[in-house]
Amino acid sequence: MKPILNFLVIIFSFFALSATTKNGCNHKVYTIVLQNKADVADAHLNYFEGRSENNNANTGSANELPVYTWTVNGTPVTGRALLKFSLSSIPAGSKIISAKLSLYGYPVKFKSFAIPQGNAGDDVVILRRVVDDWDENKVTWNNQPKISAEDEIALPVSTSTWNFDIIDADVTQLIEKMRATNNYGFSIRLRTEETYRSIGFLSSEYPDVTKRPKLVITYKN
């Protein structure tokens, strides 16, 4: 029996080595979770027709990221958001295997904008790559960065008004593009910016760390 056991050990070792070796090099797989405030920057952008003070207001310290097209006393308002994760912990030359984004809905209602979801049509949210630099403590609607519609992603949003989550939205292509060019993060907006539609996400300032935006990246090096 011992010769057979030794043979099986040799075969197992061969397959284990084959799984981690390519062109004579060992490739290890790593997974990182980015969710702490130090890893994330975000801000809500608010447009209020005729109110320059709103359009120039910065909300980088808010604990929510509402996205909407609505009216206030008949005046159109629009909300968008920006979200960026630091990718500095991924070694240069590493190959991204997957990147998955999780966003979470406000438990009850927006503190600043208590409105329902999708009253007049779908409230599908799209992610686009930001192509200009921005500062979460300075960015406003009026100075918001440019974005690219290439490789945009429609998020699989829950139909629940509050306390929903988006788990495992595949953002691999966008993350790869950010690493290949510049990492200025995501633009978050409604696919159809027409009243009355809304959806609200929690930001990186939300007290419950487990409900903040999360990016899980798996890569090999």
What DSSP line would sit under 94-113, residue for residue?
A: PEEEEEEEEEEB-SS--SS-
Query: CB count, 10 Å around CB of 2?
Result: 6
Q: CA-based angle 30:32:34, to the nearest 5?
A: 165
Average pLDDT of the chain, as a whole number: 84
Nearest one of 106, 54, 60, 73 to 211, comparing CA atoms:
106
pLDDT band for 3, please (50, 70, 90 cuts). very low
What is the pTM (predicted TM-score) of this model?
0.84
- Range 130-144 average pLDDT: 97
pLDDT in tens, 171-195: 999 999 999 999 999 999 999 998 8
Task: Quote the CA–CA distance of 117 and 163 in Å, as a whole number.
Answer: 12
pLDDT at 148: 96
The answer for residues whose C-beta is within 8 angstroms of residue 98's C-beta and 6 or more apart is 170, 172, 216, 217, 218
Taking residue 160's Cβ as centre, other Cβ atoms within 10 Å add up to 10
